[in-house]
Amino acid sequence: MTWYTRLWRYITLAHGSGGRETGEIVRELVVKRVPVELWRVSGGSGLDSLDDSALIPVSRNLYLAVTIDSYTVKPIFFPGGDIGLLAASGTINDLLMAGAKPVALLDGIVVEEGFPTEDLSRIVDSYISVAEKEGIAIIGGDFKTMPKGQIDGIVISSAGIGFAEKPIDDRSIRPGDTIIVSSTLGDHGAAILAAQQGVGVDTDIKSDVKPLTSLMIPLLEKYRDYIHGAGDPTRGGLAMLVNDWAQKTETVIVLEEEEIPVKPQVREYAEMLGIDPLSLASEGVAVLAVDSSVAEEVLEFIHSLGFREASIIGRVYKPKIEHHRGKVVLKTITGGSRILEPPSGELVPRIC
């Protein structure tokens, strides 16, 4: 029996939602089928770490960071941004979370026949404006057109290149580390969900999409030796990110629900639809695992950079029993606790 008849006969939207099913198909379709010796360039990282960026050593103290992602958000223009802003920002942030300074972008755009030229120009302008503002080169790309009805509007693939002297590898997260988030969570997911549902919601719900260079570059310059893990909670949200961390490091991560910043309107809207706001995507938020000896100092520094809603939300522990290994525990506002599972199923399709 093949892996696909054993697990799924057909691909579903859940496989692209960034949750449990995405992780399963990446492992089964790619990781397990690529020979181990091809998982990475010698001395670097790749399929062995499954971080947002791969690392290739170019000298004794320098790594080339490479990332690629495809963006299929619907609607392509949403409260707070558009697919061009999303693609550029997401690519830049994936490099930053690896501890790299972004230096160049490439994009591949596929549009449907009949797509409005005015909309395409607006999207490309958004992509270019992000790169221009951040001082990042756009060094190439590709453009294709598909017959009408064979693609839904537009898809953008965006690749990024950066350099890191001291890369961040999430596998370095260790018991005793403190978990910090830079801002409120779930804004992007709630904004896309509201736009897709077409229902009347608070107009304050807007995507948080933005590049995080103003946060990460100063942090890397001052506290790099104390940052053991970094990630942006995009598809699958905080719940997926911290579950990945716990599983990679075989630790237990305990989060304090009361300390997790979520805007009231985002929480209310998500709960109205039966969705855990911790599973909603953010596109302008960093989650950090830092040495606890400097956690409060790092938090104050993040506040000084303008990220006033940053908060310490949890801690990493060594599992006391085997059953707890790789788990995330959420201490609830009501005083109880529950296992925070990685999201599963089709939460918000076409979100990024």
Q: Looking at the structure, do residues 70 and 196 belong to the same domain, yes or no?
A: no
Is 27 domain-assigned? no
User: What is the number of structural domains in the chain?
Assistant: 2
Q: Looking at the structure, do residues 193 and 307 belong to the same domain, yes or no?
A: yes
Q: Looking at the structure, do residues 60 and 157 belong to the same domain, yes or no?
A: yes
Q: Looking at the structure, do residues 231 and 307 belong to the same domain, yes or no?
A: yes
Name the domain boundary from 124, 141, 164: 164
What number of residues does the chain have?
352
Q: Provide the pLDDT for residue 79.
A: 93
∠286-291-294 over CA atoms, to 5°? 90
Name the domain boundary from 164, 181, 210: 164
Q: Provide the pLDDT for residue 3.
A: 59
Q: Provide the pLDDT for residue 266.
A: 94
Q: Which two tokens stand for residue 269?
A: 């809207």
Q: Provide the pLDDT for residue 6.
A: 62
Q: Provide the pLDDT for residue 243.
A: 96
Q: Looking at the structure, do residues 111 and 213 belong to the same domain, yes or no?
A: no
Q: Looking at the structure, do residues 95 and 152 belong to the same domain, yes or no?
A: yes
248 φ, ψ to 5°?
A: -65, -40
Q: Looking at the structure, do residues 212 and 76 belong to the same domain, yes or no?
A: no
Q: What is the pLDDT of residues 56-94, one digit of tens each?
A: 999 989 999 999 999 999 999 999 999 999 999 999 999
Is 108 domain-assigned? yes
Mean pLDDT estimate for the chain: 93
Q: Looking at the structure, do residues 261 and 325 belong to the same domain, yes or no?
A: yes
Q: Provide the pLDDT for residue 26.
A: 86
**Mean pLDDT of the 37-42 span:** 94
Is 87 domain-assigned? yes
Specify the higher pLDDT residue, 224 or 350. Answer: 224
CATH label of the domain that carries residue 230 = 3.90.650.10
Please give the full DSSP string across 236-270, using - where no structure is assigned.
THHHHHHHHHHHHHT-EEEEEGGGS---HHHHHHH
Residue 45 reports pLDDT greater than 70? yes
* CA–CA distance, 349 with 352 (Å, rounded to integer): 9
Q: Provide the pLDDT for residue 25.
A: 85
Is 285 domain-assigned? yes
Q: How confident is residue 299, by pLDDT bands cut at 50, 70 and 90? A: very high
Q: Provide the pLDDT for residue 169.
A: 95
Is 251 domain-assigned? yes
* CA–CA distance, 108 with 318 (Å, rounded to integer): 43
Q: What is the pLDDT of residues 93-136, one digit of tens each?
A: 999 999 999 999 999 999 999 999 999 999 999 999 999 999 99
Pairing of strands 252-256, 328-331: parallel
Q: Looking at the structure, do residues 43 and 137 belong to the same domain, yes or no?
A: yes
3-state SS, 80-125, equals: CEEHHHHHHHHHHHHHHCCCCEEEEEEEEEEEECCCCHHHHHHHHH
Q: What is the pLDDT of residues 316-347, one digit of tens each?
A: 999 987 778 999 999 999 999 999 998 877 76
* CA–CA distance, 261 with 173 (Å, rounded to integer): 22
Q: Which two tokens stand for residue 160?
A: 């990024």
Q: Could you say which DSSP state residue 198 is in? A: T
Q: Looking at the structure, do residues 126 and 266 belong to the same domain, yes or no?
A: no
Is 68 domain-assigned? yes
* CA–CA distance, 280 with 352 (Å, rounded to integer): 12
Residue range(s) defining the domain that contains residue 325 = 170-339
Name the domain boundary from 99, 131, 164: 164
Q: What is the pLDDT of residues 168-217, one digit of tens each?
A: 999 999 999 999 999 999 999 999 988 988 765 555 799 999 999 999 99
Q: Looking at the structure, do residues 147 and 47 belong to the same domain, yes or no?
A: yes
Is 8 domain-assigned? no
